[in-house]
C-alpha cells in the first residue's frame, strides 16, 4: 500500500516539477488503466483513462485518450471513486459554539488533526453543521488559501433556532426585530445555514421550543434571498414535512423517531429533498458500550491518538453502559437504517452520507451502517459522493468524476462496489488536482514509534 501510493505521489510531484517556469498551461495528468467508479451510479468502467488539467477533471472514460505531453500514471489494479464527502460533521476542537474566547493553539491543533484524519480516510470535503464561528471559519480561510492540509471545508458556523430551541447562538423570536442576528450570521459567509427544529433534540431529552412555521418560512426566505441554502435539523416526520414546505433545502438527519409513513415516502418521491444519513452518531453510543474494541481497527489506530482511544475504550465505554439514551438509540438505529433504505428506493439521489461526528473512520462506519441496512455498496458510494455534493448544493463542482468537475478523487485497492469495506483501502487521495501526501499528515500512523503504541 505504502509503496504504490509513494510511487504515484512521486510521479505527480515529478510531473509538477517538470513544468518549465515559462509554461502557462496547467499540468496535465492522465491516469490510465484504472477502474472508474464515477459517482453517478453507472457501472464501473474497467481500463478507463481520467485526464486532469490543473485543478479540474478534463475527461474520463473508456475511450478517452491521454493528451500528448500529459504525464501518465498507471492506475492498473486500482479503483477510482470521487473524493468522499461527509455532509454533517462538527469539527472537534471548537470548544462550544457561543464562546467568544480566542481560539487556542491546542484547539486549532485538535481541529487540524481531525481534518488530517478525514483526508487520510479519503474524505476530501466536509460540511461543518454547527461550531464556534471563529474556529471553523478561521480553518476554512486557511484551507481556501491552501495554507493547511485539509479537506474542503464548508461550514455554517453558528446555527439558528428558537430561543430555548435546538441550536444557537442565532435565536430568533421577533420578526423583523431579530433579523439583525441573521445579518450577523450572513456576515460570516456561511456556505449553508443550519436551522435546528426539534421538540426535544433528537431523542428522549427534555422538551424544548421550535420556531413557529410562519417564522421558519420567513427565516428560510431571508437566507435564500442572500443565496444561502438551508440545512435543517429534524428528527420526526411531522417536523420534516413542515420544514420542507417552509422551504428547507436539505434535512440534516433521517427520520429517526419512527418508521416513515408511505405518505412521507411518496412526498419524497416527488420532492427529492436530500436527507443526510447520520446513522453513526446514534449507533456510536451503544457500540462504545458493547464493542469498544472497534477502536483497534486500522483506520482508528492510524488516525486517533492513542490516549484518546484509551479514554474511549475505558472511561467513555463505561459511561455509555449506563446511558439510557444509548439504549434508545440502539433500538432506533435499525429504524433509521430502514428509513434510509426506503428513501433510496424512492429516489436514488435523496440519501447523502454524513456522520454528525468528527473523524475519518466514523465516515467509513456510516458506509457500513448504510450497507448493513440493506443498501448496496454501489449505492452507498453514490451517497458518499454525488448525493452528498447535491445535499450541499455543490453538484456543479463536486461529487462525480466527470468533465468540468474539480479533481477530487480517491484510488482504492479493491472494488468498493463489491464490498464497502474496500473503500477503507485507501491508496491515494487527490484534492483539487493535488496529491495528498498521507505520510506527512499529523496522525498517529506517521509518528515515530507508532507501531509500539498500537
Contact 341, 373 (CB under 8 A): yes
Question: Are residues 255 and 280 in contact, defined by beta-carbon separation less than 8 angstroms?
Answer: no
Q: Is 15 in the site for Zn ion (CB under 5 A)?
A: no
- Is there binding between residue 246 and Zn ion (CB under 5 A)? no
Question: Cβ of residue 216: shortest distance to Zn ion, in angstroms?
Answer: 18
Closest distance to Zn ion from the beta carbon of 196 (Å): 9
* Min dist. Cβ of residue 92 to Zn ion (A): 13
Phi, psi of 282 (to 5 degrees): -70, -40
> What is the three-class DSSP state of 147?
coil
The residue (of 59 and 249) whose beta carbon lies closer to Zn ion is 249
> Are the CB atoms for 71 and 53 separated by under 8 Å?
no
Query: What is the spatial distance between Cα 406 and Cα 39, in angstroms, rounded to a whole number?
Result: 13
Measured from the CB of residue 356, what is the shortest distance to Zn ion in angstroms? 4
Question: Which of 119, 251 has the CB closer to Zn ion?
Answer: 251
38/356 with CB nearer Zn ion: 356
Minimum distance, C-beta of residue 323 to Zn ion, in the bound complex (Å): 18
The one among 129, 246, 279, 326 contacting Zn ion by CB under 5 A: 129
| Residue 129 vs 340, nearer CB to Zn ion | 129
DSSP strand pairing (28-36 vs 229-233): unpaired
Q: Are strands 159-161 and 169-171 parallel, antiparallel or unpaired?
A: parallel
d(CA 31, CA 315): 47
CB of 78 to Zn ion, least distance (A): 34
User: What is the SS3 string spanning 264-287?
Assistant: HHHHHHHHCCCEECCHHHHHHHHH
Q: How many residues bind Zn ion (CB under 5 A)?
A: 2
Ranked by CB distance to Zn ion, the top (closest) residue is 356
Among the listed ranges 15-23, 123-131, 269-277, 305-313, the one in contact with Zn ion (CB under 5 A) is 123-131
Using the minimum distance from each CB to Zn ion, give the nearer residue, 316 or 356: 356
| Segment contacting Zn ion by CB under 5 A, of 128-136, 150-158, 426-434, 445-453 | 128-136
Any alpha helices (H) in 231-359, and if so which ranges? 237-245, 262-271, 279-290, 298-303, 306-311, 317-321, 324-346
Q: How far is the CB of 193 from Zn ion (least distance, A)?
A: 14
Helix axes 179-187 and 213-225, enclosed angle (nearest 10): 40
- Pick the closer one to Zn ion by CB: 96 or 105: 96
| Distance in angstroms (rounded) separating the CA atoms of residues 81 and 383 | 12
31 binds Zn ion (CB under 5 A): no
Compute the distance between CA of residue 156 and CA of residue 108 in angstroms, rounded to an integer: 18
- Specify the residue, 48 or 129, whose C-beta has the smaller distance to Zn ion: 129
Nearest approach in angstroms of CB 298 to Zn ion is 27
**Pick 130 or 444: Cβ nearer Zn ion:** 130
C-beta neighbour count of 319 within 10 angstroms:
14
Smallest gap from Cβ 85 to Zn ion, in A, equals 15
C-alpha distances out from residue 200 to 175, 204, 283, 441, Å: 24, 7, 19, 39
Q: How far is the CB of 279 from Zn ion (least distance, A)?
A: 13
DSSP 392-432: TT-TTTSSS--TTSB--EEEESS-TTT-GGGGG-EEEEEET
The secondary element (H helix, E strand) that includes residue 187 is helix 179-187
Nearer to Zn ion, 302 or 356 (CB): 356
Q: What whole-number distance in Å separates Cα of residue 129 and Cα of residue 297?
A: 27
C-beta of 75 vs 360, nearer to Zn ion: 360
Residue among 45 and 276 whose Cβ is closer to Zn ion: 276
Integer angstrom CA distances of residue 140 from 96, 127, 159: 18, 10, 17
Q: How far is the CB of 130 from Zn ion (least distance, A)?
A: 6
Beta strands in 148-191 (DSSP E): 152-155, 159-161, 169-171
Residue ranges in 318-377 that form contacts with Zn ion under rule CB under 5 A: 356
Q: Closer to Zn ion by CB, 233 or 386: give it.
A: 233
Shortest reach from residue 167's CB to Zn ion, in Å:
9
Q: Which residues contact Zn ion (rule: CB under 5 A)?
A: 129, 356
Amino acid at each position: 500500500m505504502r509503496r504504490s501510493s509513494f510511487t504515484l505521489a512521486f510521479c505527480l510531484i515529478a510531473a509538477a516539477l517538470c513544468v518549465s517556469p515559462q509554461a502557462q498551461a496547467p499540468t496535465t495528468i492522465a491516469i490510465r488503466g484504472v477502474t472508474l467508479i464515477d459517482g453517478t451510479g453507472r457501472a464501473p468502467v474497467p481500463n478507463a483513462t481520467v485526464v486532469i488539467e490543473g485543478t479540474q477533471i478534463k475527461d474520463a472514460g473508456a475511450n478517452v485518450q491521454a493528451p500528448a505531453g500529459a504525464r501518465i500514471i498507471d492506475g492498473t489494479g486500482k479503483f477510482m471513486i470521487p473524493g468522499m464527502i461527509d455532509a454533517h460533521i462538527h469539527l472537534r476542537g471548537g470548544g462550544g459554539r457561543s464562546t467568544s474566547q480566542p481560539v487556542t493553539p491546542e484547539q486549532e491543533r485538535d481541529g487540524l488533526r481531525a481534518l488530517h484524519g478525514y483526508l487520510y480516510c479519503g474524505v476530501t470535503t466536509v460540511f461543518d453543521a454547527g461550531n464556534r464561528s471563529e474556529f471553523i471559519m478561521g480553518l476554512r480561510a486557511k484551507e481556501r488559501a491552501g495554507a493547511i492540509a485539509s479537506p474542503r471545508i464548508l461550514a455554517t458556523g453558528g446555527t439558528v433556532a428558537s430561543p430555548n430551541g435546538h441550536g444557537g447562538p442565532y435565536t430568533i423570536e421577533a420578526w423583523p426585530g431579530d433579523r439583525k442576528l441573521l445579518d450577523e450570521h450572513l456576515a460570516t459567509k456561511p456556505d449553508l445555514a443550519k436551522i435546528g427544529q426539534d421538540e426535544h433534540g433528537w431523542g428522549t431529552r427534555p422538551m424544548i421550543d421550535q420556531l413557529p412555521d410562519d417564522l421558519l418560512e420567513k427565516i428560510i426566505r431571508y437566507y435564500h434571498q442572500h443565496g444561502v441554502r438551508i440545512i435543517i435539523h429534524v428528527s420526526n416526520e411531522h417536523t420534516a414535512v413542515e420544514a420542507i414546505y417552509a422551504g428547507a433545502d436539505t434535512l440534516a438527519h433521517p427520520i429517526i423517531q419512527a418508521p416513515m409513513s408511505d405518505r412521507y415516502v411518496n412526498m419524497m418521491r416527488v420532492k427529492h429533498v436530500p436527507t443526510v444519513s447520520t446513522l453513526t452518531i446514534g449507533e456510536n453510543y451503544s457500540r462504545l458500550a458493547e464493542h469498544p474494541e472497534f477502536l483497534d481497527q486500522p483506520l482508528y489506530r492510524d488516525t486517533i491518538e492513542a490516549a484518546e482511544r484509551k479514554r474511549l475504550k475505558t472511561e467513555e465505554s463505561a459511561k455509555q453502559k449506563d446511558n439510557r439514551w444509548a439504549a434508545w438509540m440502539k433500538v432506533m438505529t435499525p429504524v433509521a437504517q430502514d428509513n434510509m433504505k426506503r428513501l433510496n428506493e424512492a429516489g436514488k439521489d435523496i440519501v447523502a452520507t454524513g456522520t454528525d461526528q468528527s473523524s475519518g473512520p466514523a465516515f467509513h462506519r456510516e458506509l457500513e451502517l448504510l450497507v448493513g441496512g440493506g443498501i448496496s455498496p454501489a449505492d452507498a458510494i453514490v451517497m458518499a459522493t454525488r448525493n452528498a455534493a447535491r445535499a450541499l448544493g455543490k453538484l456543479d463542482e463536486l461529487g462525480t468524476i466527470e468533465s468540468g468537475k474539480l479533481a477530487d478523487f480517491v484510488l482504492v485497492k479493491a472494488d468498493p462496489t463489491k464490498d464497502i469495506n474496500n473503500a477503507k483501502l485507501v491508496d491515494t487521495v487527490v484534492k483539487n488536482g493535488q496529491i495528498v501526501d498521507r505520510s506527512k499528515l499529523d496522525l498517529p500512523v506517521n509518528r515515530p514509534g507508532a507501531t509500539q503504541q498500537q
